């Protein structure tokens, strides 16, 4: 199985991972054979890529860190909340949030993550561009909780962190769509309008009884930066609440690895390096390190070239070995296909390392 961008899909390929919309409806089931109409419809819906079956290497599955059912439940809740807030005309948006429902969903996420050992995050979900805000909020919640677990937060703190992370972008729903989704550079005036979403989120969540003080604070401070370069108040260092600082890190990572109207997604390894380089500058390095310790720099299914000239597909990554995945070799040192597939662990092979990620187009050509 491998993930291909839409432009690399060909009729006859087999869908290896079901694709859903923000309502939880199946757009294409696993096992469906792609037809020209299906590819065109995916393009119209803004689906950026599809996991397809692949006979190049051994079979594997991209494992979600939380179950599909829990992710879809969270996705539907965020969509209902945000669309309700957007449609509210009487200034009572907070009444539409229902803290108990939010807590219930976050508790499910926390419970699933606590029950797992050695979590490594791979980029696995397929999202439509129009669903970005909803899926992004759920991803940020999951990634924030994983980071909190690494930092050994107690369960109650994980739930508070998760609730804040799930609702961190609620203020965006009050920003004009033509500004928020503008494909080109923002004017200074438009940038200031977008920046208001942090304060708007704080105002909405602060009015909600039963939500607590943490969620409003996370919404307000998730664009503050360690060096004081963020907004809306220019806070720096320890003046930023740690839950907001964690949310800022995972918010940035998930945004970097998603297709946006104004740019293509960065590959996982590039986003990893960008965040690692931001430690103790844009973000607190202690928190960045905790987050990145659970993120695979090379996602499962990525085709990589080693320093030896060998080419293979990433099978898995062990915790604490983000840059040293286990790889199934497909091509030898001279570029010739191997008769027998060989699995190696780069954490054990000290004279081998990844030097390049092959673009999806090159994967298609090698088939």
CB 114 within 8 A of CB 155: yes
Tell me if the pTM is above 0.75.
Answer: yes
The two structure tokens encoding residue 191: 């940038």
Q: Is the distance from CB of 57 to CB of 302 less than 8 angstroms? A: no
DSSP string, 168-219: TTGGGGGS-HHHHT-SSPPPHHHHHHHHHHHHHHHHHHHT-TTS-SHHHHHH
Helices then strands, counting H and E runs in the chain, come out as 12, 9
Question: What Å distances lie between residue 192 and 59, 196, 367, CA to CA?
Answer: 48, 6, 48
> Is residue 342 a contact partner of residue 363, using CB atoms and an 8 Å limit?
no
Residue among 79, 172, 324, 363 flagged as catalytic = 172
* pLDDT (0 to 100) of residue 367: 43
- How many other CB atoms sit within 10 Å of the CB of residue 226? 25
Cα 235 from Cα 233, distance rounded (Å):
6
Cα separation, 331 vs 337, whole angstroms: 4
Instruction: Identify the pLDDT of residue 193.
Output: 96
Residues 63-88 as b or e (16 or more Cβ within 10 Å = b): ebbbeeebbbbbbbbbbebbeebeeb
Omega before residue 363 within 30° of 0, cis = no
172 included as an active-site residue:
yes
Q: For 2-52, CATH number?
A: 3.90.105
The residue with tokens 């108990």 is: 100
Question: Which token pair is 196?
Answer: 């208001």
Q: Where are the domains of the chain?
A: 2-52, 68-292, 303-366
Digit-by-digit pLDDT tens for the chain (367 residues) are 777 878 888 999 999 888 877 666 788 888 999 999 999 998 888 787 788 887 665 566 667 788 888 988 998 899 888 887 766 654 565 557 889 999 999 999 999 999 987 788 876 555 555 567 788 999 999 999 999 999 999 999 999 999 999 999 999 989 998 998 888 889 999 999 999 999 999 999 998 888 999 999 999 999 999 999 999 999 999 999 999 999 999 999 999 988 776 777 888 899 999 999 998 899 999 999 999 999 999 988 888 999 999 999 998 898 888 999 999 999 998 888 898 889 999 999 999 999 999 987 665 444 4
Domain 68-292 belongs to what topology?
Hypothetical protein af1432 (1.10.3210)
**Cα 191-196-200 angle, rounded to 5 deg:** 160
Nearest to 359 by CA among 283, 273, 264: 264
């Amino acid at each position: 199985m491998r993930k291909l961008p839409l432009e690399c899909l060909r009729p006859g390929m087999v869908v290896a991972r079901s694709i859903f919309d923000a309502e939880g409806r199946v757009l294409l089931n696993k096992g469906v054979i792609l037809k020209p109409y299906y590819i065109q419809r995916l393009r119209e819906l803004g689906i950026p890529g599809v996991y397809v079956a692949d006979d190049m290497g051994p079979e594997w599955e991209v494992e979600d860190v939380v179950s599909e059912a829990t992710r879809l439940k969270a996705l539907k809740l965020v969509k209902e909340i945000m669309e309700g807030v957007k449609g509210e005309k009487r200034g009572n948006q907070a009444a539409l949030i229902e803290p108990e429902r939010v807590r219930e969903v976050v508790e499910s996420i926390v419970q699933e993550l606590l029950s797992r050992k050695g979590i490594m995050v791979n980029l696995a979900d397929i999202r439509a561009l129009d669903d970005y805000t909803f899926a992004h909020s759920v991803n940020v919640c999951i990634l924030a909780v994983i980071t909190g677990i690494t930092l050994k937060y107690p369960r109650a703190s994980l739930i508070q962190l998760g609730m804040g992370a799930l609702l961190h972008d609620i203020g965006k729903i009050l920003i004009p769509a033509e500004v928020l989704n503008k494909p080109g550079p923002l004017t200074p005036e438009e940038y200031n309008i977008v920046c208001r979403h942090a304060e708007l989120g704080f105002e909405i969540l602060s009015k909600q009884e039963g939500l607590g003080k943490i969620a409003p604070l996370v919404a307000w401070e998730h664009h503050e930066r360690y060096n004081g370069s963020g907004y809306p108040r220019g806070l720096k260092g320890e003046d930023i609440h740690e839950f907001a600082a964690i949310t800022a890190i995972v918010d940035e990572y998930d945004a970097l690895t998603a297709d946006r109207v104004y740019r293509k997604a960065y590959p996982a390894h590039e986003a990893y390096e960008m965040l690692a380089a931001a430690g103790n500058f844009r973000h607190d390095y202690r928190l960045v390190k905790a987050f990145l310790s659970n993120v695979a720099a090379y996602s499962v299914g990525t085709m990589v070239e080693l320093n030896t000239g060998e080419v293979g597909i990433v099978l898995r990554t062990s915790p604490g070995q983000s840059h040293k995945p286990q790889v199934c070799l497909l091509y030898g040192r001279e570029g010739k296909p191997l008769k027998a597939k060989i699995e190696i662990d780069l954490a054990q092979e000290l004279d081998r390392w990844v030097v390049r990620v092959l673009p999806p187009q090159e994967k298609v050509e090698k088939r």
